[in-house]
Chains A and B, each alone.
Chain A
Amino acid sequence: MAKIEKTELDHIAELSKLSFTDEEGEKMAEQMGDIIALMDTIREFDIEYDDTKDNNQIPYARLRDDNPRESFPTEKLMQNAVTGGNEDCYVLPKMME
């Protein structure tokens, strides 16, 4: 069973804004090792990405006209927010020490 190094798992966990306990990390490192071994089969395929090709043929529409539109009502946007009793504000922990 392949397994990725702890330092590698810690690095991608940091990039992913996730963290693991030692026990969780052990299991995840094993599973990620197996998954990456599966992904490694792609390496045997001798092909280069062609920048000149439209990758997935998406027929992009032209951008919409820049016309003013009515905004969402504040109370609707705030219905999912943690407000800490102040209905107009998002409550956040201190960002600067």
Chain B
Amino acid sequence: MDMKRATVSMLRRALDEKQVSARELCEECFKAIDKDEDKIGAFITLTREEAIKNAERAQKRIDEGKSGFLTGIPLAIKDNICTDGIKTTCASRMLESFIPPYDAHVAEKLKEQDFVLIGKTNMDEFAMGGATQTSYFKRTHNPVNTDCVPGGSSGGSAAAVAAGFVPAALGSDTGGSIRQPAAFCGVTGLKPTYGRVSRYGLVAFGSSLDQIGPIANSVKDCGEILNVIAGQDSRDATSSDIRETDFNRNAEKPVKGLKIAIPKEFYGEAVDEEVKTAVMNAAKELEKQGAVLVSCEMPSLKYGIPAYYLIACAEAASNLSRYDGIKYGLRGEGKNYREMILDSRNKGFGDEVKRRILLGNYALSSGYFDAYYRKACALRQKIIAEYNAIFEKSDVILTPTAPSVAYKIGSQDSDPVKMYTADILTVPVNIAGLPALSLPCGENEKGMPIGMSITGRRFDEATVLQAGRAYEMR
């Protein structure tokens, strides 16, 4: 069975109709990994032995006719999501040997279904980066063109799906880290509404922005996986009790009359022409299906980058202060307590993580707090208000996911400012806590995938998935 482009829905049918066993499926994944992983570098840890055992357990459940959507389905999980007894490194030297004593909420949810964990995927260190090049362990390569980056920070998860190693994976999205790698690798990724999925067991980066979501080969798979992982969890006080019975409930409904906003600032000079053309062609396709395109504005977009980086880094500086080498993590050396902490952090963190900690503490420090952090929070309010105004007249917003297609490995390594500004189209969604889906909408003349994003109202993933599905099924 060719796993490339295989959807979870297809594999579910194949398993239930006994065309393939869970073990065979699992072995297919490892066959593909053994063949190509050296070129891609999608994984930090492979869980081969446990996977076979879990596949056999899942098969029993399938044979009993009690399978859930993910029973026996091989999946990968980003390495910042805790898995009981399996290393969770955050792609950092700091957590190189860290074995969590518990499962993240999402890992528990997947286990309830008897899924099969294939491995933990590579990422930017502590999810800080947009290219999966800041990992302590390795760089990940884009399966479409291995000279190019896969995007980030969930680049390992997106690359694993695009390479056909797994049919779907979990990622996390603080400023675009699910959507942008999905766009670069030509797969589909969903960042749910903030509060939709529990963050319990997700290693914290920006706590008011982080959200876990699926990366898969179809819009429908993203909705189905969200059905499994969403829901309130008492261990994350920001997880919401707003329920959804089925995120795909509108997936087969036509988009006739659906109002799609096109904010002009998202199609500005910073965005490559080939990207704009592909996304506008997709807009016309949806219009052909009966959707109504609505022009609109988001004047504060240009301040999205400083607002995002100030808030995210302030939260990161606070969250990462726990890494002192005492209870877990890299233990440095030193004659006394202070020297030991400094040595642990100096050796444990990479340059990008250090830059963000420094920026966060700068923004929070006395004399700068009002000028930077508080101002960023004010801008957050403004951006939320502008989104609310757009959603008074529209149901979803259509934008490019990234200003360009995937770029060459190494071409942006030395310029953090350039790297930050490339996030301009994805960070506003996190600032406002909205759900957004990235799906492929074509490729450039060199064959590199182009992604478009559909953003919805808070807790309205169903409409986002409806619009995405309508385009996917064109």
Tell me whether B381 and A53 are in contact (CB under 8 A). yes
Question: How distant is A68 from chain B, measured CB to nearest CB, in Å?
Answer: 14
Q: How many A-B residue pairs have CB under 8 A?
A: 165
What's the Cα separation between A40 and B305 when bound, in Å?
Answer: 11
**Interface segment, B32-40, B275-283, B360-368?**
B360-368
What's the Cα separation between A6 and B168 when bound, in Å?
Answer: 47
Q: Which residues of B contact A65 (CB under 8 A)?
A: 234
CB within 8 Å of A: which B417-433 residues: 417, 420-421, 431-433
**Interface segment, B261-269, B335-343, B465-473?**
B335-343
What's the Cα separation between A31 and B329 when bound, in Å?
Answer: 27
Q: Mark B353-383, 1 if CB is under 8 A from A, else 0.
A: 0110111011101000001101111111110
Q: Which residues of A contact B421 (CB under 8 A)?
A: 38
Q: Which residues of A contact B355 (CB under 8 A)?
A: 28, 31-32, 35
CB within 8 Å of A: which B218-275 residues: 232, 234-235, 237-242
Tell me whether B357 and A16 are in contact (CB under 8 A). yes
* Partner of A50 from B310, B340, B354, B381 at Cβ < 8 Å: B381
Is B346 in the interface zone, CB < 8 Å from A?
Answer: yes
Tell me whether A12 and B240 are in contact (CB under 8 A). no
What's the Cα separation between A50 and B99 when bound, in Å?
Answer: 43
What's the Cα separation between A81 and B303 when bound, in Å?
Answer: 43
CB within 8 Å of B: which A65-79 residues: 65, 72-73, 76-77, 79
Tell me whether A79 and B337 are in contact (CB under 8 A). no
Tell me whether A18 and B357 are in contact (CB under 8 A). yes
Is B109 in the interface zone, CB < 8 Å from A?
Answer: no
Tell me whether B341 and A61 are in contact (CB under 8 A). no
Q: Which residues of A contact B309 (CB under 8 A)?
A: 35, 38-39
Tell me whether A49 and B374 are in contact (CB under 8 A). yes
Tell me whether A49 and B375 are in contact (CB under 8 A). yes
Tell me whether A57 and B458 are in contact (CB under 8 A). yes
Is A93 in the interface zone, CB < 8 Å from B?
Answer: yes
Q: Mark A28-67, 1 if CB is under 8 A from B, else 0.
A: 1001101111111111010111100101111111011100
Q: Which residues of A contact B101 (CB under 8 A)?
A: 72-73, 76-77, 79-80
Closest to A75 in B: B101
Q: Which residues of A contact B306 (CB under 8 A)?
A: 38-42
Total interface residues in chain A, CB < 8 Å: 52
What's the Cα separation between A53 and B361 when bound, in Å?
Answer: 25
Tell me whether B342 and A19 are in contact (CB under 8 A). yes
What's the Cα separation between A63 and B363 when bound, in Å?
Answer: 30
Question: How distant is A50 from chain B, measured CB to nearest CB, in Å?
Answer: 6
Is B416 in the interface zone, CB < 8 Å from A?
Answer: yes
Q: Which residues of B contact A16 (CB under 8 A)?
A: 317, 345, 354, 357-358, 361
* Partner of A49 from B98, B358, B361, B378 at Cβ < 8 Å: B378
Q: Which residues of B contact A93 (CB under 8 A)?
A: 334-337, 339-340
CB within 8 Å of A: which B306-335 residues: 306-307, 309-310, 317, 321, 324, 326-329, 331, 334-335
Asked, given contacts A39-B309, A42-B306, A97-B336, whether A56 binds B194 with beta carbons under 8 Å apart, the answer is yes
Question: How distant is B96 from chain A, measured CB to nearest CB, in Å?
Answer: 11
Q: Mark B103-145, 1 if CB is under 8 A from A, else 0.
A: 0000000000000000000000000000000000000000000
Asked, given contacts A31-B355, A41-B303, A42-B379, whether A18 binds B345 with beta carbons under 8 Å apart, the answer is yes
What's the Cα separation between A6 and B143 when bound, in Å?
Answer: 43
Question: How distant is B173 from chain A, measured CB to nearest CB, in Å?
Answer: 15
Asked, given contacts A18-B346, A43-B371, whether A57 binds B433 with beta carbons under 8 Å apart, the answer is yes
What's the Cα separation between A88 and B358 when bound, in Å?
Answer: 35
Asked, given contacts A61-B234, A80-B327, whether A42 binds B340 with beta carbons under 8 Å apart, the answer is no
Q: Which residues of A contact B381 (CB under 8 A)?
A: 47, 49-50, 53, 55
Question: How distant is B309 from chain A, measured CB to nearest CB, in Å?
Answer: 7
Tell me whether B378 and A47 are in contact (CB under 8 A). yes
8 pairs, A vs B, C-beta closer than 8 Å: A12-B361, A39-B306, A43-B375, A47-B382, A50-B381, A56-B194, A60-B237, A79-B101
Beyond A11-B365, A59-B241, 14 additional pairs, beta carbon < 8 A? A12-B362, A17-B341, A17-B342, A32-B359, A34-B417, A35-B417, A41-B303, A42-B375, A47-B378, A49-B377, A50-B378, A61-B239, A81-B328, A90-B326
Which residues on A are within 8 Å of B, measured CB to CB? 9, 11-13, 15-19, 28, 31-32, 34-43, 45, 47-50, 53, 55-61, 63-65, 72-73, 76-77, 79-82, 90, 92-95, 97
